[in-house]
């Protein structure tokens, strides 16, 4: 009897041990503060993933760049050191060329067209396009429209001539700034405030939250809403980590990711409105120049990009999204 009891207890302990080992633990690192809409969406993503996977997948979220810069975390994900991170689609084109379409100017008619494109088959294809580089996208997060802010209003492309404009490390964005007559200056986001303050750069291009959360509105008082790009953030997972998950676990994580985007869109819209009011309180003046001259200025660049059949096809498919 004692022997049978000992065997039963040992079997239960072994089963408990196997169940404990079955929990897949992952880390998600990003560079935003904890009050940012993206962080809040990622926390919800982690909660929903645990819920939908019935506790089989647990994700710990690390904010404020504690695990490295955006590029460092992306490289960690490529190598399987970090499981999940968030990256702007802008520098992602250096890893997967299809992401270039997000860096091309004036691709989307408006925010509704942008959202519909992300949810379309072409949006899903873009998320999968980096598989051979060690990661895939799970969902997008809204990062607003990118516009110019400098120490003087930008009403036409001529107003950009000769200005040093900070850009992300994106070959396409660099080419766009050159086409508009300015001098592109790649620079880490954390260096932009000092660069503006000291005159190393004359301006930058980003969404409205950079004026307040990034404090750039303290040193640049003119925000010209050219809305030349709509570049989403992308939640990416290592292909090694993704491959370890069962199909039900993958489905649970994908569902959680898509639902977290719906929350993030709502939070982002609220944040944009609130940060605009704060920026105006800082003395930032907003203007909305006609886009026609800017579109005309970059047309030769876009014509050249269309010589690439794959890019031309993507642009046509995006334009066809209704």
Residues 205, 209, 214, 218: what is their CA dihedral angle, to the nearest 10 degrees?
80
Tell me which long-range contacts 39-47 makes (C-beta under 8 A, separation of at least 24). Answer: 39/63, 40/263, 40/264, 40/267, 41/141, 41/260, 41/261, 41/263, 41/264, 41/267, 42/86, 42/235, 42/260, 44/259, 44/260, 44/263, 45/235, 45/256, 45/257, 45/259, 45/260, 46/256, 47/256
For helices 121-128 and 111-118, what crossing angle results, to 10°?
60
The end-to-end CA distance of the chain, in Å, is 72
Task: State the span(s) of the chain assigned CATH 3.40.190.170.
Answer: 24-143+232-275, 145-230+281-320
CATH number for the domain formed by residue range(s) 24-143+232-275: 3.40.190.170
Using DSSP, state whether 200 is helix, strand or coil.
coil
Cβ–Cβ < 8 Å for 105, 255:
no
CA angle 115, 251, 270 (to 5 degrees): 35
Q: Which two tokens stand for residue 308?
A: 């690439």
- The fold adopted by the segment(s) 145-230+281-320 is D-Maltodextrin-Binding Protein; domain 2 (3.40.190)
Residues in the chain: 322
Taking only the tens of pLDDT, the chain with its 322 residues reads: 445 544 544 454 444 444 444 899 999 999 998 989 999 999 999 999 999 999 999 999 999 999 999 989 999 999 999 999 999 998 898 899 999 999 999 999 999 999 999 999 999 999 999 999 999 999 999 999 999 999 999 999 999 999 999 998 888 999 999 999 999 999 988 899 999 999 999 999 999 999 998 999 999 999 999 999 999 999 999 999 999 999 999 999 999 999 999 999 999 999 999 999 999 999 999 999 999 999 999 999 999 999 999 999 999 999 999 9
């Amino acid at each position: 009897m004692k022997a049978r009891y000992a065997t039963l207890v040992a079997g239960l302990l072994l089963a408990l041990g196997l169940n404990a080992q079955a929990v897949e633990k992952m880390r998600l690192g990003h560079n935003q503060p904890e009050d940012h809409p993206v962080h809040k969406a990622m926390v919800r993503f982690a909660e929903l993933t645990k819920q939908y996977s019935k506790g089989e997948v647990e994700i710990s979220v690390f904010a404020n760049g504690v695990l490295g810069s955006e590029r460092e975390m992306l490289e960690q994900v490529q190598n399987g050191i970090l499981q999940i991170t968030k990256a702007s689609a802008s520098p992602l084109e250096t890893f997967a060329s299809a992401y270039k379409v997000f860096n091309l100017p004036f691709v989307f008619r408006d925010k509704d067209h942008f959202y519909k494109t992300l949810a379309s088959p072409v949006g899903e294809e873009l998320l999968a396009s980096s598989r051979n580089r060690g990661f895939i996208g799970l969902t997008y997060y809204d990062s607003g429209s990118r516009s110019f802010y400098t120490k003087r209003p930008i009403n036409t492309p001529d107003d950009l001539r000769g200005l040093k404009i900070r850009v992300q490390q994106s070959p396409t964005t660099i080419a766009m700034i050159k086409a508009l007559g300015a001098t592109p200056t790649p620079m880490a986001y954390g260096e932009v405030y000092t660069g503006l303050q000291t005159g190393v750069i004359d301006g930058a291009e980003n969404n409205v939250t950079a004026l307040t959360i990034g404090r750039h509105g303290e040193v640049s008082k003119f925000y010209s809403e050219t809305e030349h790009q709509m570049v989403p953030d992308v939640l990416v997972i290592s292909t090694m980590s993704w491959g370890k998950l069962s199909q039900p676990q993958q489905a649970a994580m994908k569902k959680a990711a898509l639902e977290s985007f719906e929350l993030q869109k709502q939070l982002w819209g609220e944040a944009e409105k609130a940060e605009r009011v704060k920026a105006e309180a800082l003395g930032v003046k907003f203007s909305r120049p006609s886009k026609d001259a800017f579109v005309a200025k970059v047309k030769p660049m876009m014509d050249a990009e269309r010589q690439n059949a794959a890019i031309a096809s993507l642009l046509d498919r995006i334009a066809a999204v209704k």
